[in-house]
Amino acid sequence: MGKKPPTTTDSLRRPRKKAVNWYVAVVVTLFAVVLLILFSTSPTKRMTPETRPPQLSAAQTAYEFQKQGELRFLNAKGQLIITVDIEITREESKRELGLMYREKMAENQAMLFVFDGEGPRSFWMKNTILSLDMIFVNGKNEVVTIHKYTTPYSEDSYASTRPAQYVVEVNGGFADKYGIAAGDRIAWRVF
């Protein structure tokens, strides 16, 4: 028994199969190139362990604001500028944590750092997601230094220009929005 001679339809199928295989290969190659372009970055833009924002644990992302009192900003004449809810940090471990890992903070919320006495104070933004205004206040409750729009994740030092006993951290832009300036005062109470 011999081979059956090819029919017209058989001879047409072979080139069509080759064309389909070639088309699939081209599509897969193009798809792979597009994926490489989308998911690769140039060496100058690639994040290193030093510049990459940290991965947050479930406990850190659940770190929420706890209202413990109220703080009033007053102008130099003693007139009310604005009142905010405050979370107070007195212990060293809580001061070190500060607002690190917080994903949000309402405009009417602030963290008040309380120290035992006046002294040079310096803060940084390591592991801090939000841009903040840092308001340094002396023992007489007078604003002595303001650092506005601090840079998230920065390890640069933001220092008081004069001795401070308190530091109030609010969302970046707060001081400009409400006109808080050196010479203004604070008054606060705990619940």
Residue 8 has pLDDT above 60, yes or no: no
Residue 77 lies in a domain: yes
Q: Which domain holds residue 165?
A: 64-190
Q: Nearest CA to 124 among 161, 149, 152?
A: 152
Residue 86 has pLDDT above 70, yes or no: yes
Residue 186 lies in a domain: yes
Residue 37 lies in a domain: no
pLDDT in tens, 37-59: 555 443 333 444 444 445 555 45
Residue 83: beta bridge partners? 72
Task: Write the CB contacts of 78 (distance below 8 Å, at least 6 apart in sequence).
Answer: 185
Residue 84 lies in a domain: yes
Question: SS3 for 14?
Answer: helix
Residue 45 lies in a domain: no
pLDDT in tens, 157-168: 999 999 999 999
Residue 169 lies in a domain: yes
If pLDDT is split at 50, 70 and 90, which confidence band does 97 have?
confident
Residue 58 lies in a domain: no
* pLDDT average, residue stretch 101-119: 95
Number of domains in the chain: 1
For residue 132, the model assigns a pLDDT of 97
CATH number for the domain harbouring residue 73? 2.60.120.1140
Residue 14 lies in a domain: no
Residue 20 has pLDDT above 50, yes or no: yes
Task: Write the CB contacts of 21 (distance below 8 Å, at least 6 apart in sequence).
Answer: none
Residue 3 has pLDDT above 80, yes or no: no
> Do 191 and 93 meet the contact criterion of CB atoms below 8 Å apart?
no
